[in-house]
């Protein structure tokens, strides 16, 4: 979607690529941007900026079905042993990656901006659908996809505040999981001593 901060971040990535620095960018893949402006009868009218619904999505992105991380909301943390804890209950949302390439100017350096899209692990509740409760059958899908539906949702009410918090939590959780996963792959395993080098690479 379109947004001033996103445009600024993309400019930073463009500069890093041109200067031949290695870097990764992360963000959320919003279904709708801030808004599209039209003038009707002399007045500004705002409508949703449906930038992804023009046919086949965004032509410059690469859908990464192999890069998906679970993000848990709500629930509680319980102790399951000495210094061992487990997060249970709540709901799980899958954060799927979409990569956008950023080539440098007159260089061979190309960087990636990885955007997260909220996906549900369960498309529909078949039992609810067969019972004629069609709205409830797709309730989880709608609730999940709402997380990455709109850039800058109105947060003057409780639901808006909760949605913004969910957006921020999904972004941070998926991004940290991805950074750690790429670090582990690069260093061939889960040797805890290697994590001392993490700050040099992240």
Q: Say which CATH number the domain at 65 has.
A: 3.40.50.2000
Per-residue confidence at 3, pLDDT binned at 50, 70, 90? low
What pLDDT score does 195 carry? 75
- Please name the residue that has the structure tokens 């990885």: 114
pTM of the model: 0.85
- Please name the residue that has the structure tokens 């997380």: 147
pLDDT surpassing 80 at residue 1: no
Which domain range does residue 60 map to?
Answer: 4-201
Give the residue-averaged pLDDT of 105-119: 93
Query: Nearest Cα to 153, choosing from 168, 163, 144, 145?
Result: 163
Burial of 156 (0-12, 13-18, 19+ CB in 10 A): exposed
In the chain, the number of structural domains is 1
- Residue with more model confidence, 45 or 127: 45
- Residue with more model confidence, 126 or 30: 30
Q: Tens digit of pLDDT for each residue in 161-193?
A: 999 999 999 999 999 999 989 888 877 666 667
Instruction: Kindly state the greatest CA–CA separation across the chain.
Output: 69
Per-residue confidence at 101, pLDDT binned at 50, 70, 90? very high
Q: Tens digit of pLDDT for each residue in 61-94?
A: 999 999 999 999 999 999 999 989 998 889 999 9
> In terms of DSSP bridges, do strands 61-73 and 76-81 run parallel, antiparallel, or are they unpaired?
unpaired
- List Cβ neighbours of 79 (8 Å cut-off, separation of 6 or more): 85, 86
Q: How far is CA 65 from CA 45, 54, 95, 115, 191, in A?
A: 37, 21, 10, 13, 27
Q: What percent of the chain has pLDDT over 90?
A: 49
């Amino acid at each position: 979607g379109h947004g001033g901060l996103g445009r600024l971040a993309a400019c930073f990535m463009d500069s890093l690529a041109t200067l031949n620095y290695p870097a990764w960018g992360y963000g959320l893949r919003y279904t709708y941007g801030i808004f599209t402006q039209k003038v009707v009868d002399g007045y500004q009218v705002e409508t949703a900026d449906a930038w992804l619904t023009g046919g086949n999505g965004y032509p410059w992105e690469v859908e990464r079905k192999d890069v998906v991380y679970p993000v848990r909301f709500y629930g509680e943390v319980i102790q399951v042993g000495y210094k061992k804890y487990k997060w249970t209950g709540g709901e799980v949302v899958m954060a799927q990656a979409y990569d956008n390439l950023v080539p440098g100017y007159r260089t061979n350096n190309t960087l990636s901006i990885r955007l997260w899209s909220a996906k549900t692990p369960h498309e529909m509740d078949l039992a609810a659908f067969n019972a004629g409760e069609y709205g409830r059958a797709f309730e989880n899908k709608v609730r999940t996809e709402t997380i990455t539906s709109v850039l800058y949702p109105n947060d003057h009410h409780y639901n808006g505040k909760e949605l913004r918090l969910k957006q921020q939590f999904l972004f941070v959780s998926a991004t940290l999981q991805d950074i750690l996963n790429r670090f582990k792959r690069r260093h061939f395993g889960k040797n805890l001593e290697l994590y001392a080098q993490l700050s040099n690479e992240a």
